[in-house]
Structure 1
Amino acid sequence: MPHLFSSHRLRREARTVEAMIRRYCRDHHGATTEPCPDCRDLLAYAQQRLHHCPFQHRKTTCANCPVHCYKPAQRERIRTVMRHSGPRMLLSHPVLALLHLLDGLRRPRRKP
Protein backbone atom coordinates (compact mmCIF):
# COMPACT_ATOMS: atom_id res chain seq x y z
CA MET A 1 0.00 0.00 0.00
CA PRO A 2 2.84 2.50 0.51
CA HIS A 3 3.16 3.34 -3.20
CA LEU A 4 -0.55 3.35 -3.96
CA PHE A 5 -1.40 6.40 -1.84
CA SER A 6 0.33 9.76 -2.07
CA SER A 7 0.08 10.83 1.57
CA HIS A 8 0.42 9.42 5.05
CA ARG A 9 -3.20 10.45 5.69
CA LEU A 10 -4.51 8.29 2.82
CA ARG A 11 -2.31 5.33 3.79
CA ARG A 12 -3.75 5.50 7.30
CA GLU A 13 -7.30 5.73 5.93
CA ALA A 14 -6.61 2.65 3.78
CA ARG A 15 -5.26 0.74 6.82
CA THR A 16 -8.35 1.72 8.81
CA VAL A 17 -10.76 0.53 6.12
CA GLU A 18 -8.80 -2.71 5.75
CA ALA A 19 -8.88 -3.34 9.52
CA MET A 20 -12.63 -2.71 9.58
CA ILE A 21 -13.34 -5.04 6.66
CA ARG A 22 -11.10 -7.77 8.10
CA ARG A 23 -12.86 -7.49 11.47
CA TYR A 24 -16.29 -7.67 9.86
CA CYS A 25 -15.31 -10.67 7.73
CA ARG A 26 -13.83 -12.52 10.70
CA ASP A 27 -16.96 -11.91 12.79
CA HIS A 28 -19.52 -12.63 10.06
CA HIS A 29 -17.87 -14.98 7.60
CA GLY A 30 -15.44 -16.84 9.85
CA ALA A 31 -12.34 -15.68 7.98
CA THR A 32 -9.19 -16.33 9.97
CA THR A 33 -6.25 -15.11 7.89
CA GLU A 34 -7.57 -13.58 4.68
CA PRO A 35 -10.96 -11.97 4.00
CA CYS A 36 -13.48 -13.97 1.99
CA PRO A 37 -13.81 -13.17 -1.75
CA ASP A 38 -16.76 -10.78 -1.22
CA CYS A 39 -14.90 -8.85 1.47
CA ARG A 40 -11.72 -8.82 -0.64
CA ASP A 41 -13.75 -7.29 -3.48
CA LEU A 42 -15.16 -4.64 -1.14
CA LEU A 43 -11.67 -3.86 0.16
CA ALA A 44 -10.30 -3.52 -3.38
CA TYR A 45 -13.23 -1.26 -4.30
CA ALA A 46 -12.75 0.91 -1.19
CA GLN A 47 -9.03 1.26 -1.84
CA GLN A 48 -9.65 2.11 -5.49
CA ARG A 49 -12.16 4.80 -4.51
CA LEU A 50 -9.75 6.17 -1.91
CA HIS A 51 -6.94 6.25 -4.46
CA HIS A 52 -9.13 8.32 -6.81
CA CYS A 53 -10.54 10.63 -4.11
CA PRO A 54 -10.53 14.22 -5.41
CA PHE A 55 -9.68 15.55 -1.92
CA GLN A 56 -6.63 13.32 -1.29
CA HIS A 57 -4.78 14.36 1.90
CA ARG A 58 -7.39 17.05 2.73
CA LYS A 59 -10.28 14.59 2.88
CA THR A 60 -12.61 14.08 5.78
CA THR A 61 -14.08 10.64 6.43
CA CYS A 62 -16.19 9.30 3.58
CA ALA A 63 -19.35 9.55 5.69
CA ASN A 64 -18.86 13.34 5.95
CA CYS A 65 -17.73 13.88 2.37
CA PRO A 66 -19.80 16.13 0.09
CA VAL A 67 -19.01 13.80 -2.86
CA HIS A 68 -20.31 10.25 -2.61
CA CYS A 69 -18.19 8.30 -5.04
CA TYR A 70 -19.29 4.80 -3.95
CA LYS A 71 -21.94 3.03 -5.99
CA PRO A 72 -25.12 2.62 -3.90
CA ALA A 73 -24.67 -1.14 -3.32
CA GLN A 74 -21.05 -0.78 -2.19
CA ARG A 75 -21.93 2.25 -0.09
CA GLU A 76 -24.51 0.21 1.82
CA ARG A 77 -22.04 -2.67 2.24
CA ILE A 78 -19.32 -0.40 3.66
CA ARG A 79 -21.85 1.24 5.98
CA THR A 80 -22.79 -2.19 7.31
CA VAL A 81 -19.12 -3.03 7.83
CA MET A 82 -18.45 0.25 9.61
CA ARG A 83 -21.51 -0.02 11.83
CA HIS A 84 -20.26 -3.38 13.02
CA SER A 85 -16.52 -2.74 13.14
CA GLY A 86 -16.38 0.90 14.19
CA PRO A 87 -17.18 0.39 17.89
CA ARG A 88 -14.99 -2.72 18.05
CA MET A 89 -12.02 -0.86 16.58
CA LEU A 90 -11.54 0.95 19.89
CA LEU A 91 -10.49 -2.37 21.41
CA SER A 92 -8.57 -3.95 18.53
CA HIS A 93 -7.03 -0.86 16.86
CA PRO A 94 -7.43 2.05 19.31
CA VAL A 95 -5.00 4.44 17.58
CA LEU A 96 -6.58 3.96 14.14
CA ALA A 97 -10.05 4.29 15.66
CA LEU A 98 -9.25 7.54 17.47
CA LEU A 99 -7.52 9.05 14.46
CA HIS A 100 -10.50 8.06 12.31
CA LEU A 101 -12.80 9.83 14.77
CA LEU A 102 -10.61 12.93 14.62
CA ASP A 103 -10.60 12.80 10.82
CA GLY A 104 -14.39 12.81 10.97
CA LEU A 105 -14.23 16.18 12.72
CA ARG A 106 -12.46 17.75 9.75
CA ARG A 107 -14.62 20.15 7.84
CA PRO A 108 -15.74 18.75 4.50
CA ARG A 109 -13.94 20.54 1.67
CA ARG A 110 -15.49 21.70 -1.53
CA LYS A 111 -14.62 19.66 -4.58
CA PRO A 112 -11.28 20.96 -5.97
Structure 2
Amino acid sequence: MTKIQYGDASLLTGELLKEFETVAAMVWIYCRKHHQSEGLCSECADLISYAETKLDRCPFGQNKPTCNRCPVHCYKPQQKLQMKSVMRFSGPRMLLWHPKLALRHLLHEKKTVPNLPLNPESNRHLRLQKAKNSK
Protein backbone atom coordinates (compact mmCIF):
# COMPACT_ATOMS: atom_id res chain seq x y z
CA MET A 1 0.00 0.00 0.00
CA THR A 2 1.23 3.47 -0.74
CA LYS A 3 1.50 5.93 2.10
CA ILE A 4 -0.75 8.95 1.67
CA GLN A 5 1.11 12.24 1.92
CA TYR A 6 -1.07 15.24 1.32
CA GLY A 7 -1.13 18.75 2.68
CA ASP A 8 1.38 20.30 5.03
CA ALA A 9 1.37 17.42 7.48
CA SER A 10 4.50 18.92 9.06
CA LEU A 11 2.07 20.95 11.21
CA LEU A 12 0.70 17.79 12.80
CA THR A 13 2.46 15.34 15.09
CA GLY A 14 1.64 12.26 17.15
CA GLU A 15 -2.01 11.25 17.34
CA LEU A 16 -3.12 14.18 15.20
CA LEU A 17 -0.82 13.07 12.39
CA LYS A 18 -2.22 9.52 12.56
CA GLU A 19 -5.75 10.91 12.47
CA PHE A 20 -4.81 13.03 9.45
CA GLU A 21 -3.30 10.03 7.65
CA THR A 22 -6.52 8.09 8.28
CA VAL A 23 -8.74 10.90 6.99
CA ALA A 24 -6.50 11.45 3.95
CA ALA A 25 -6.59 7.72 3.13
CA MET A 26 -10.39 7.67 3.39
CA VAL A 27 -10.78 10.71 1.13
CA TRP A 28 -8.32 9.18 -1.34
CA ILE A 29 -10.36 5.94 -1.55
CA TYR A 30 -13.60 7.89 -1.96
CA CYS A 31 -12.20 10.17 -4.66
CA ARG A 32 -10.75 7.29 -6.71
CA LYS A 33 -14.11 5.51 -6.82
CA HIS A 34 -16.43 8.52 -7.19
CA HIS A 35 -14.50 11.09 -9.19
CA GLN A 36 -12.24 8.85 -11.33
CA SER A 37 -9.53 11.47 -11.63
CA GLU A 38 -5.77 11.10 -11.75
CA GLY A 39 -4.89 11.75 -8.14
CA LEU A 40 -7.27 13.82 -6.05
CA CYS A 41 -9.85 16.15 -7.56
CA SER A 42 -9.91 19.72 -6.27
CA GLU A 43 -13.04 19.10 -4.16
CA CYS A 44 -11.42 16.21 -2.30
CA ALA A 45 -8.10 18.04 -1.98
CA ASP A 46 -9.99 20.95 -0.39
CA LEU A 47 -11.71 18.56 2.03
CA ILE A 48 -8.37 17.10 3.12
CA SER A 49 -6.96 20.58 3.60
CA TYR A 50 -10.03 21.55 5.64
CA ALA A 51 -9.69 18.42 7.80
CA GLU A 52 -6.02 19.20 8.40
CA THR A 53 -6.88 22.73 9.57
CA LYS A 54 -9.55 21.39 11.91
CA LEU A 55 -7.16 18.81 13.36
CA ASP A 56 -4.51 21.50 13.88
CA ARG A 57 -7.04 23.63 15.77
CA CYS A 58 -8.76 20.87 17.75
CA PRO A 59 -9.09 22.05 21.38
CA PHE A 60 -8.34 18.52 22.62
CA GLY A 61 -4.90 18.53 20.99
CA GLN A 62 -3.18 15.14 21.18
CA ASN A 63 -6.04 13.79 23.34
CA LYS A 64 -8.56 14.25 20.52
CA PRO A 65 -11.35 11.68 20.47
CA THR A 66 -12.62 10.30 17.18
CA CYS A 67 -14.91 12.77 15.41
CA ASN A 68 -18.09 10.71 15.83
CA ARG A 69 -17.60 10.68 19.63
CA CYS A 70 -16.41 14.27 19.97
CA PRO A 71 -18.61 16.73 21.91
CA VAL A 72 -17.29 19.63 19.79
CA HIS A 73 -18.74 19.68 16.28
CA CYS A 74 -16.26 21.89 14.47
CA TYR A 75 -17.03 21.16 10.80
CA LYS A 76 -19.21 23.52 8.79
CA PRO A 77 -22.43 21.87 7.53
CA GLN A 78 -21.26 21.35 3.93
CA GLN A 79 -17.90 19.84 4.90
CA LYS A 80 -19.63 17.73 7.55
CA LEU A 81 -21.92 16.24 4.88
CA GLN A 82 -18.98 15.63 2.55
CA MET A 83 -16.96 13.91 5.28
CA LYS A 84 -19.95 11.84 6.33
CA SER A 85 -20.30 10.53 2.75
CA VAL A 86 -16.57 9.85 2.57
CA MET A 87 -16.54 7.94 5.86
CA ARG A 88 -19.65 5.92 5.03
CA PHE A 89 -18.15 4.81 1.73
CA SER A 90 -14.50 4.46 2.72
CA GLY A 91 -14.83 3.12 6.27
CA PRO A 92 -15.50 -0.51 5.32
CA ARG A 93 -12.91 -0.37 2.52
CA MET A 94 -10.18 0.85 4.87
CA LEU A 95 -9.74 -2.70 6.18
CA LEU A 96 -8.67 -3.77 2.69
CA TRP A 97 -6.65 -0.72 1.63
CA HIS A 98 -5.14 0.46 4.92
CA PRO A 99 -5.70 -2.24 7.58
CA LYS A 100 -3.28 -0.74 10.15
CA LEU A 101 -4.94 2.68 10.00
CA ALA A 102 -8.40 1.08 10.15
CA LEU A 103 -7.61 -1.06 13.20
CA ARG A 104 -5.92 1.86 14.95
CA HIS A 105 -9.02 3.98 14.34
CA LEU A 106 -11.35 1.26 15.67
CA LEU A 107 -9.24 0.94 18.84
CA HIS A 108 -9.14 4.72 19.22
CA GLU A 109 -12.96 4.82 19.11
CA LYS A 110 -13.07 2.65 22.24
CA LYS A 111 -11.12 5.19 24.33
CA THR A 112 -12.96 7.33 26.85
CA VAL A 113 -13.81 10.81 25.59
CA PRO A 114 -11.86 13.36 27.67
CA ASN A 115 -13.46 16.47 29.11
CA LEU A 116 -12.97 19.65 27.12
CA PRO A 117 -9.70 21.17 28.38
CA LEU A 118 -9.91 24.45 30.29
CA ASN A 119 -6.71 25.74 28.68
CA PRO A 120 -6.32 25.54 24.90
CA GLU A 121 -4.36 22.44 23.92
CA SER A 122 -4.73 22.73 20.17
CA ASN A 123 -1.67 21.99 18.11
CA ARG A 124 -1.90 25.48 16.61
CA HIS A 125 -2.12 27.18 20.03
CA LEU A 126 0.90 25.28 21.35
CA ARG A 127 2.89 26.06 18.19
CA LEU A 128 2.08 29.79 18.45
CA GLN A 129 2.94 29.82 22.17
CA LYS A 130 6.27 28.15 21.46
CA ALA A 131 7.07 30.70 18.74
CA LYS A 132 6.04 33.56 21.03
CA ASN A 133 8.21 32.27 23.90
CA SER A 134 11.25 31.81 21.67
CA LYS A 135 11.28 35.51 20.68
Please indicate the TM-score interval, normalised by the length of the shorter structure. over 0.9
Could you list the runs of 5+ residues in structure 1 that have no partner in the other structure? none
The letter of the residue matching 1:10 is L
Say which of 4, 20, 41 aligns to 2:11.
4
Could you list the runs of 5+ residues in structure 2 that have no partner in the other structure? 1-7, 118-135
Equivalence for 2:60: 55
1:94 aligns with 2:66: no
Give the C-alpha shift of residue 18 in structure 1: 0.3
TM-score (norm: length of structure 1)? 0.93
The letter of the residue matching 2:73 is H
Assess if the C-alpha contact under 8 Å between 1:21 and 1:85 holds in 2: yes
- Separation (CA, whole Å) in 2 of partners of 1:2 and 1:37: 18
Equivalence for 1:69: 74
Provide the aligned length of Structure 1 versus Structure 2. 110
Assess if the C-alpha contact under 8 Å between 1:54 and 1:111 holds in 2: yes
Give the C-alpha shift of residue 107 in structure 1: 1.4
Identical-residue share of aligned pairs (%): 48
TM-score (norm: length of structure 2)? 0.78
For the aligned residue pairs, the C-alpha RMSD in angstroms reads 1.1
1:17 aligns with 2:5: no
The letter of the residue matching 1:91 is L
- Separation (CA, whole Å) in 2 of partners of 1:75 and 1:57: 22
The letter of the residue matching 1:82 is M
Give the C-alpha shift of residue 2 in structure 1: 4.8
- Separation (CA, whole Å) in 2 of partners of 1:98 and 1:63: 16
Give the C-alpha shift of residue 3 in structure 1: 2.4
1:110 aligns with 2:77: no
Flag the structure with larger Rg. 2
Assess if the C-alpha contact under 8 Å between 1:60 and 1:103 holds in 2: yes
- Separation (CA, whole Å) in 2 of partners of 1:72 and 1:2: 24
Give the C-alpha shift of residue 73 in structure 1: 1.1
- Separation (CA, whole Å) in 2 of partners of 1:108 and 1:68: 14
Aligned-partner SS, 2:79 = helix
